[in-house]
Amino acid sequence: QLSQRLKTVADFVKPGETVADIGSDHAYLPCYLVKNNRVEKAIAGEVVEGPFQSAVKQVEEDGLTANIEVRKGNGLTVLSPGEVTTVAIAGMGGPLISEILENGKDRLTGVQKLILQPNINAISIRLWLQEHGWQISDEKILEEDRKIYEVIMAERSADVKKLSEEELLLGPVLLKDKSPVFIAKWKHELVQLKKIKKQMELAEQNTSLLEKKKQLEQKIMLIEEA
């Protein structure tokens, strides 16, 4: 049974696409896509030996070795330009996903769609997409096992619409939809940020008190000496 998170990623893949799943771990996503006749061919990329072996094993167990090629390597280096139409990168932090895209941008020739699922810091992905000619065409947000996930789909565009600061942080589509999960995520975030702000203010007060105490001690010392 595929997680709801990966199912949401999979739902962005349309029939006829060829997919590379980078950081595939158990290759659950490409296996699901082939088993459900969404795609005929897929590539699972993985840089770490353990997860790479898990992917190989899973593909063999599912009898999908003719459809899914498991390749070991860092990020997009496992791809040749023009090999796939769609790249999925899921289950990592936003900065790591952006780094994989940045380091492998020459391998994205021929790729028309990116499906990205950052666990945290989606803003770094939106910034990267905007700066590299990718338009966010859809976004989803979901809650599973008390965690909230965002999924971003982007397509190439010669005329990328510049996102506002608000859209970069919250997501242009998610901001429009304002789903209950979206509201819950940002209400929670707001509480956390306000807590941090309060702690900073307290720390600030403490340092200014310390400063005042020092000045007082200096004055006392001067008077006593005199």
Q: 210, 203, 7, 194: which is closest to 90 by C-alpha?
A: 7
Residue type present at position 69: E
CB-nearer residue toward ligand SAM: 36 or 207? 36
In the complex, the smallest distance separating the C-beta of residue 13 from ligand SAM, rounded to whole angstroms, is: 14
Contact 13, 88 (CB under 8 A): yes
Helix (H, G, I), strand (E, B) or coil at 140: strand
CB-nearer residue toward ligand SAM: 22 or 163? 22
CB-nearer residue toward ligand SAM: 10 or 163? 10
In the complex, the smallest distance separating the C-beta of residue 131 from ligand SAM, rounded to whole angstroms, is: 20
CB-nearer residue toward ligand SAM: 22 or 59? 22
In the complex, the smallest distance separating the C-beta of residue 161 from ligand SAM, rounded to whole angstroms, is: 28
In the complex, the smallest distance separating the C-beta of residue 24 from ligand SAM, rounded to whole angstroms, is: 6
In the complex, the smallest distance separating the C-beta of residue 184 from ligand SAM, rounded to whole angstroms, is: 22
Phi, psi of 112 (to 5 degrees): -110, -20
Which positions lie near ligand SAM, rule CB under 6 A?
A: 6, 22-25, 45-48, 51, 74-75, 90-92, 100
Question: What is the C-alpha separation between 182 and 149, in angstroms, rounded?
Answer: 10
Question: What is the C-alpha separation between 172 and 159, in angstroms, rounded?
Answer: 16
CB-nearer residue toward ligand SAM: 25 or 139? 25
Question: What is the C-alpha separation between 141 and 68, in angstroms, rounded?
Answer: 28
